[in-house]
Amino acid sequence: MDPDRALVDRAVAGDLAAFEALVERHRDVVFRVAARTVGRDEAEDVCQDAFLRAFHRLPSFRREAPFRTWLLRITHNAALNHLARRRPEPVESVEPLVEDADPDGARTPAERLEGRERRERLEGKVRLLSPAHRAVLVLRDIEGLTYEEIADVTQSPLGSVKGRLHRARAELIEMLRRNTYDWELPT
Amino acid sequence: MSDGPNGDSEIPAEQRLLAYLDGLREHPPQPRANLVAAVMRTARWQAAARPYLAAMGSLAGALGAGVSVLVGARGRG
């Protein structure tokens, strides 16, 4: 049973508060997928685009898949369209480095900064993957979707999803081995 | 071939890669607090404008049909 079903039914009937509740419920995952596909700076545009497309297409949502999967499919397509329209993206994030929160106080400020810098370099490498490879890697290895959900989101056969994931991981491993000095990846 | 995160059929390099990717999962990018408000502001005005846009579309369609009928009648006359 889709946990969003009641809200979707109300939103289709024109209840904007119900649609707002759906946006509230899914904004984080939509933003994460958008940010990891197009970069943080442009993720909000993709997010807004995806939610508004969903708003207008709700009457045609056939409930064959859960609302979340349908919404991620729209997000995926919006992100790919965004990438297709723009020039090649910068390799690394331009966000200023700030220290991570460290509630336990177990790490020094230098260690926190180093951890953040390392993650940003990894995010930069993920964004160097082709959009098709990046999508499956983000959806599976970071967001934890099932293969079936990814096949639905990307509208690809299950075998293609598994093949792309395997190639995406191999490509990323190769990139990290080749271009950086401190990733320990056994052969 | 791998079966998925933390599955047992991944090669050692993949297992290490997944551990690195866990770091990204644990520190997710966060949207600005006003994202929902921005989406809803646009959704509200688009919802309000929808009937007018539909009416304008119908009107334009009717005008187009009328013009084509007139042009057709003149052409035959």
- pTM score, whole prediction: 0.79
Residue of chain B nearest A102, judged by CA positions: B27
Which CATH number covers residue A26?
1.10.1740.10
Out of A37-41, A98-102, A162-166, A178-182, which region has the weakest mean confidence (pLDDT)? A98-102
Same domain, A116 and A64: no
Give the pLDDT band (50/70/90) at residue A97. very low
Q: Where in the sequence is the domain holding A5, given as residue range(s)?
A: 1-89
Q: How confident is the model over A27-39, as pLDDT tens digits? A: 999 999 999 999 8
CB–CB contact B5 A27 (8 Å): no
Contact (CB<8Å) A28/B31: yes
Residues A78-88 pLDDT 10s: 999 999 887 66
Of A57, A89, A121, which residue sits at a domain end? A89
Mean pLDDT of chain A: 88
Closest Cβ–Cβ partner in B18, B35, B47 for A16: B47
- Name the domain count of chain A: 2
Percent of chain A topping pLDDT 90: 65
Residues in chain B within 8 Å Cβ distance of A118: 23
Angle A161-A93-A113 (CA atoms, 0-180°, nearest 5)? 110
The answer as to whether A45 is a domain residue is yes
B32 φψ region: left (φ > 0), alpha (ψ -120 to 50), beta (else)? beta
**How far apart (Å, rounded) are the C-alpha atoms in residues A30 and A13?**
23
Residue A77 has pLDDT above 70, yes or no: yes
Kindly indicate whether the ipTM for this predicted assembly is greater than 0.90, answering yes or no: no
